[in-house]
Every structure is written in structure tokens, then in C-alpha cells.
Structure 1
Amino acid sequence: MNFSVLMSVYAKENARYLEECLNSLAKQTLQANEVILVEDGLITTDLSEIIKQYRNELNIISVRIPKNVGLAMALNTGLKNCSYNLIARMDTDDIALPIRFEKQIDFIKKNPDVDIVGSFAIEIDEHGAHGNTRKTTVNHDQIHKNLFTCPFIHPTILFKKDKITALGGYNTKLKRRQDYELWFRCAQAGAKFANIPESLLLYRFTTQTHKRQNLKTCIEQGNIGYNGVKSLKQPLWQGIACYIPILRAILPHKIQHIIYPILKKFDPRQKEYS
């Protein structure tokens, strides 16, 4: 089964993280046929050198955009350049565990009706030290029921290109949470969801992550969730719950990072595994 990996990189990316990411792709027990790497604007020499180092080994195909256009448009550009219908998403600061692609491709072979499949992930800090395991609901019905919680970890996703492009791809009007909005549209279109109940990715989670979770972002996230819940005619309380992250966003970043593990205990995505 042929498949592509889709990634986007821009000038402010951490070169060490990118090297660890590409090295993890090189160590996969099942190799991708191509890595579509969108260069969103001009990138640094350090980043270019790392990409050059892995280009032949991973069959990296660079898609260069002259000026930075943001993640959504970069990913949509990358989608158009993917040669295969199965596409694995990766972020350049994360690390794929060696069996990730093998597990997901095997899952799709056994469940050909599934359009989008993710997995659990293990959080890592800036030094690579392991933290919490991010778990989420697994079967389609539970994922659909809990879409307001965004029950997918975006860089763990393997999806079918034709299903995503038929919906117009990622929403370019959004600066963040484009994946969250996309899952609601996929649900409306009748897409079949799944998560593999196993950690297949090391997910970079640092204090910098919370700095990106500012008030404006959380309001936008709340609006996406509320409108998505409304479109699927799901309970009103779910739509209201989508605004809860705003309360966390007004706290100092260090405090957010400290209370995060406590709040996770109340996450409905965890109930299936508590």
C-alpha cells in the first residue's frame, strides 16, 4: 500500500527538532513512498542542510512557497502534490515511533472503510523527556460523539486524500485549529473515524505550547467547537464546554503548564481508559 507523508516547515522551526523528526521517519519499519515537505516561505540554512541530509533516503520532495502563507494553505498546497491517496501527517517537532506507519497501514488494510485514523501519543519536553500519555476515544461512534473535545492528535493522523480534498482541505481563514474545524466537516460528510489505542508518536509539549494557546486562539477554538456542535445537532452543553479553555488561557503560561495534568483528569477523552 503506497502512501505519502505530509509536512510543513517554516523559518522559525527548531533545526534539532526537525533532525529528530526526519530521523524517526528514516527508522520506520514501513517506509513511506515519499515525503512531501512544504517550505512555507524562506527557511534557514540550518533547516535546509538537514532536509538535504535526508532528501534521498526519505525521497523528500520539497514544495517551496516564496512567502509564508500559514499552515492551512501550506498543507493544502502539499495535499495537491501528494502522489498517493493515503497521507500521513507529521509535524516537524514530533517524533514518529518506529512502528507507526506499519501499524496504521495495517489498520487501513483491515478496515478499508475508515477514512481517518489516529493514535495515542506520548508527550515529550524540549529535551525529549517523556511525560503524560495522550489518550483519546477509539471507535467511530465515540469519536463522533466527542468531536467537541477534538478527539484526534493531528500529527498522528493518516487520512484518505480524496475525502479531505472533496471538502476543500484545511480552512485557510483560520490561523490555528484548522484540524479541529476539518474534523467537524468530515463528520458532516459521513467520514469514518478511528484511533489506534497505542502510542505511535512522541508529541512535543513544552511551555512554548501554552504560549501559543493565547486568549484569541482559545476564543477561536471555542467558536469552531460551538459551531461544529451546532452543525451536528449535538447537545448544547458540548458547545458551551468548547469555551472552557478560555479560563485557562488567562492564567500565566507557567501556571497553565502546571495545572494541565490536573485538568486532563477531567477530560472526557480519558474516561474510556480511566
Structure 2
Amino acid sequence: MSTYHNDNEQWLAQAIDSVLTQTFTDFQFLIIVDGPVPASTTSLLLTYAKQDSRIIVAQNNTNLGLAASMNQAIAWMRESDEFRYFVRMDADDICLPQRLEKQQHFFATHSKVSVLGTALTEIDEQGNKVGSRVMPASHSVIVRMLPRRCTLNHPTVMIRREVFDAGFRYDNELMNTQDYFLWIELAAAGFEFRNLRERLLEFRRVNDFYKRRGLVKSLNEFKARFSAMRKLQRYTPFNVIYACIVLLLRLMPAPVVKWAYKLDRVLLEKIGKH
């Protein structure tokens, strides 16, 4: 988990508690403080670290961004042979109690799968359910759809360390869509993906969610789609037109983006059955 100065401390505490109360208990919990944060946040994290020896708090002197922080976590993980999996979550989300147990069990019984995501429930600032995001379950559909969308919920993923032992990393130059580009690289390299249909994480969707897409993120997603077409050899008229339409929608007023987002969730529910 990476946290920075804008994170809500109440949500951060809920996120940490959700990890510490997992039914699967054999893990180390690395929290990277990405740049200066309020003294109250530092105190909160150090209090947790004193109470539970599984927590390790690391500090960046400056804000490096999520990709760089995750690469630091990967480097730390690879220093020890005991760590088998890399697990992601955000500082404002909540893991359901059996998340780690169910993902670890799936990996134990599916040795060829390298990246495993789950479905998630979307919650608002008060913790009320406002939606869901169910991704396609099978490897074939996940990869087939990559030129059109990011087909894993990044805060839910568990990744085998072998992926990183092979040299793959997040792109430090990207301040967003890092996960999308990584999935494309891994798919092109032949790694196998799956998604569990169970909603094992609550994803915080704040009020300005539809406004935060921004031009830079929209353009990065556009570039990622064409990168996927090229590297996965999936250049088709449909994929090209889809990428252009989504870019236009992303740049529309917030109410239009909100409508498109809700429609996308409905379609994902149907596709996610495969």
C-alpha cells in the first residue's frame, strides 16, 4: 500500500484494519509513505506498526508516485526468498476478510496463473454501496479485451513473484494507467491472467470521481489501447473505433462521463460471466 498527503486518515485506518483482520495471516504488510504527510498520519502509521509486527512503514523523501512506490515494494519483496506473492490495495479501500485466503488458495490450485484479480464493490465517502465492477474471469477474454479496456481491477490483484523475477516492473514515468501498460506487457510475454467473480474489495468512489479522469489519464488510456493492439496483434477496425469513441467520451462533461461509466458497469457484469 502507498499513502500520500492527500489521503483521508479515517479511510487509511479502515484500509489497514481490513488487512490486519484477514483470515489468512501469514504476510508482511509494507506501507510506503510517498513524500511528506501530516504528523497525525505518521503517528497513526507508527502506532499500527508498534501494535502489529507484520507492518513495515517505509518513507519516501519526496512524492514519487504510485508506480515508483510499487517498484520499491517489489524490490523490497525480492530481497527475501520467503515472499511468494505481491498483493496490491489502495489507502482508501477495504479488503473483505477472506480476500487473501481466497486468492492465495486459487494460486495454490492453479499453478499456471500469474496474475489474479477479483471483482469489487464500489462505495461512496460514507461507505454506502454505489456500484460494482466485475471483470471477465477467463484468461482468453481478459486478453482479448485488453485493446479496449483494462481488464483487471488494480487494487485487487495478487501477482506471483516470478513475474518480477523475470524483470517486469511498473513504468515509473507514468503517473496513472501504470497497471494497464503492465498487463499489456505481461500478456504479450505469455503470462496467464484470471479474475475471481467474488467481490473481495470495497473500492472508494468519491464525489468528484467522474471529474478526475483528466486529459492526461484519458490520453494515456488511449495510448495503452493502441499499445495493446500492436503488442497483442489485435488491430481491428472495431478496436480502433472503440478507442477513439472512449477518448471522446472521457473529454465530455461529467454527467456524460457518469452515464457512460454506469453503462460500462452493466456491460461488464454480462461479460464478466465468461
State the TM-score, normalized to the length of structure 2.
Answer: 0.91
Greater shift after overlay, 90-99 or 145-154? 145-154
- Corresponding residue of 1:3: none
Superposition pairs of residues 38-53 of structure 1, within 5 angstroms: 38-53=32-47
User: 1:30, 1:141 → 2: CA distance?
Assistant: 29
- Corresponding residue of 1:10: 4
- Corresponding residue of 1:250: 251
Superposition pairs of residues 161-200 of structure 1, within 5 angstroms: 161-200=161-200
- Corresponding residue of 1:207: 207
Shift in alpha-carbon separation, 1:17–1:239, aligned structure 2, 3 A: farther
Cα contact 1:227–1:239 (8 A) shared by 2: no
Shift in alpha-carbon separation, 1:243–1:73, aligned structure 2, 3 A: farther
- Tell me how far 1:62 sits from its aligned partner: 1.6
1:15-59 per-residue CA deviation (whole Å, 9 max, x = no partner) reads 111011001112211124211111111111222122123213262
User: 2:109, 2:264 → 1: CA distance?
Assistant: 35
1:161-206 per-residue CA deviation (whole Å, 9 max, x = no partner) reads 2313524310112110000000000011111111111110001112
**Pair 1:66-2:61 in alignment:** yes
1:55-107 per-residue CA deviation (whole Å, 9 max, x = no partner) reads 13262112211111111111101111124131110110110001100000110
Q: RMSD between aligned alpha carbons?
A: 1.9
Counterpart code for 1:59: R
Greater shift after overlay, 142-151 or 52-61? 52-61
State the TM-score, normalized to the length of structure 1.
Answer: 0.91
SS in 2 for 1:196: strand
Q: How many residues align?
A: 267
- Corresponding residue of 2:105: 106
Cα contact 1:207–1:253 (8 A) shared by 2: no
Cα contact 1:215–1:246 (8 A) shared by 2: no
User: 2:267, 2:246 → 1: CA distance?
Assistant: 13
- Corresponding residue of 1:124: 123
Structure 2 unmatched runs, 5+: none
Shift in alpha-carbon separation, 1:208–1:165, aligned structure 2, 3 A: farther
- Corresponding residue of 1:24: 18
**Pair 1:142-2:136 in alignment:** no
Counterpart code for 1:113: K
- Corresponding residue of 1:238: 239
User: 1:272, 1:81 → 2: CA distance?
Assistant: 34
User: 2:197, 2:219 → 1: CA distance?
Assistant: 30
- Tell me how far 1:251 sits from its aligned partner: 2.9
Percent same amino acid among aligned pairs?
27
Shift in alpha-carbon separation, 1:134–1:263, aligned structure 2, 3 A: closer
User: 1:259, 1:242 → 2: CA distance?
Assistant: 14
